[in-house]
């Protein structure tokens, strides 16, 4: 695909696996969005794409980060719930203020492979793989922190009498 989309032309969905920083030969950052059976490039940074997705669901990225801090105490590289009802929990690979920060959907990750001094290979549930130039320990930590955040947030929602899992019929 040669054309780049604008953020207004896309929507992050439960099928979105990753929102990846993609620098061009001049250092300009675009975003490659990987979905279960599709991928496309967006003319914005990954954190802008994530912020727009958060806004679509009624908050902004900063608010989602503050929510994670309130739930778990995470202050740096906090995972976020773009929409907890549909299971869209993402974590950043670096500070979201850095243009090259990429984001991964926790739900789609089934494995990590340590490439030692060459970063980490992230394996998705559809067998696609992405290599990031981030240490295995850092990515593993982000996966665990996101799991903890999901667990604690889902417990809060459940304690209010709601089932956070959209795949279950509340009337059955």
* Residue 166 forms part of a structural domain: no
- The number of domains in the chain is 1
pTM assigned to the model: 0.88
Query: How far, CA to CA in Å, does 162 sit from each of 73, 141, 167?
Result: 23, 29, 13
* Residue 164 forms part of a structural domain: no
pLDDT for 123: 98
* Residue 70 forms part of a structural domain: yes
pLDDT for 170: 44
* Residue 50 forms part of a structural domain: yes
User: How far is Cα 124 from Cα 111, in angstroms, rounded to an integer?
Assistant: 7
Backbone angles phi, psi at 86, to 5 degrees: -95, 5
* Residue 51 forms part of a structural domain: yes
Please give the residue range of the domain that contains residue 110. 7-159
List the chain residues with pLDDT less than 50.
Answer: 1-2, 169-172
pLDDT for 159: 82
* Residue 142 forms part of a structural domain: yes
The half-sphere exposure of 123 on its side-chain side, counting CA atoms within 13 A, is 7
* Residue 93 forms part of a structural domain: yes
pLDDT digits (tens, 9 = 90+) for 13-47: 999 999 999 998 898 999 999 999 999 999 999 99
* Residue 168 forms part of a structural domain: no
């Amino acid at each position: 695909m040669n054309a780049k989309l604008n953020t207004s032309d896309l929507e992050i969905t439960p099928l979105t696996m990753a929102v990846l920083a993609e620098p061009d030969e001049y250092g300009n950052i675009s975003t490659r969005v990987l979905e279960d059976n599709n991928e496309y490039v967006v003319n914005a940074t990954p954190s802008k794409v994530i912020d727009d997705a958060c806004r679509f669901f009624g908050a902004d990225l900063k608010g989602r980060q503050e929510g994670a801090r309130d739930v778990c105490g995470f202050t740096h590289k906090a995972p976020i719930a773009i929409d907890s009802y549909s299971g869209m929990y993402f974590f950043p690979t670096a500070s979201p203020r850095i243009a090259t920060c990429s984001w991964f959907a926790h739900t789609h990750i089934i494995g990590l492979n340590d490439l030692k001094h060459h970063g980490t290979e992230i394996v998705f549930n559809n067998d696609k793989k992405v290599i990031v130039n981030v240490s295995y320990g850092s990515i593993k930590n982000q996966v665990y922190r996101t799991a903890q955040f999901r667990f604690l947030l889902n417990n809060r929602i459940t304690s209010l009498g709601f089932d956070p899992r959209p795949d279950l019929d509340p009337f059955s």
